[in-house]
Amino acid sequence: MSILTREHRSALLLSGVHSMKSSLRLLAAVFVCLFFTLAKFAAAGGNPSDWTSAIVQQSLSITVGADKSLVIRNFTQDGGSLRGFISVTMTNSSNVNTADHVLTATIVDQFLSEGLLEPVNEIVIAGPSTVTVTAGDAACFITYRKIDD
């Protein structure tokens, strides 16, 4: 059995204080990093006023600049059987315009059971392009915003 002298006991107590200070500093650094990470994720959603919502009865054209992208978060249609759709026209390197359908409207039917509901998809479209939203046989609802590339 070993007996600790007064000097040894003091040394052990002081080393615990230093390790506690180090632990507190490390914990503070972790909290600061966590705070800035959460703030960055919160800012990524953007300001709610950045989003534009529109009811499309026939068609809507959205021009996306070369340094922008268009994020479409919601494209739904209340009933009907002929779906609305979104088409994108882009100019390729040969200066030829190409148009493609990229999304169809999700039909919202209040009488469907929960397991039969359709998913609402989100899409990002890079510029330069022209996005055309065409309604089906019922009005469509779209929510979108333009973001910097």
- Alpha carbons within 13 angstroms on the beta-carbon side of residue 103 total 25
**pLDDT given for residue 64 in this prediction:** 93
Extended strands (E) in the chain: 52-56, 59-64, 68-78, 85-91, 97-104, 106-108, 123-126, 129-134, 140-148
Residue pointed to by tokens 């600049």: 65
Indicate the pTM of the whole model.
0.63
75 in Cβ contact with 144 (< 8 Å): no
Tens digits of pLDDT across the chain (149 residues) = 567 676 766 665 555 555 666 666 666 665 555 555 555 545 455 555 689 999 999 999 999 998 899 999 999 998 888 999 999 998 877 787 888 989 999 888 777 666 666 778 889 999 899 999 999 999 999 999 999 87
How do the domains of the chain map onto residue ranges? 1-44, 48-148
CATH superfamily ID and name for 48-148 = Jelly Rolls (2.60.120.10)
Question: Is the bond leading into 128 cis (omega within 30 degrees of zero)?
Answer: yes
What pLDDT is stored for residue 134 in this prediction?
94
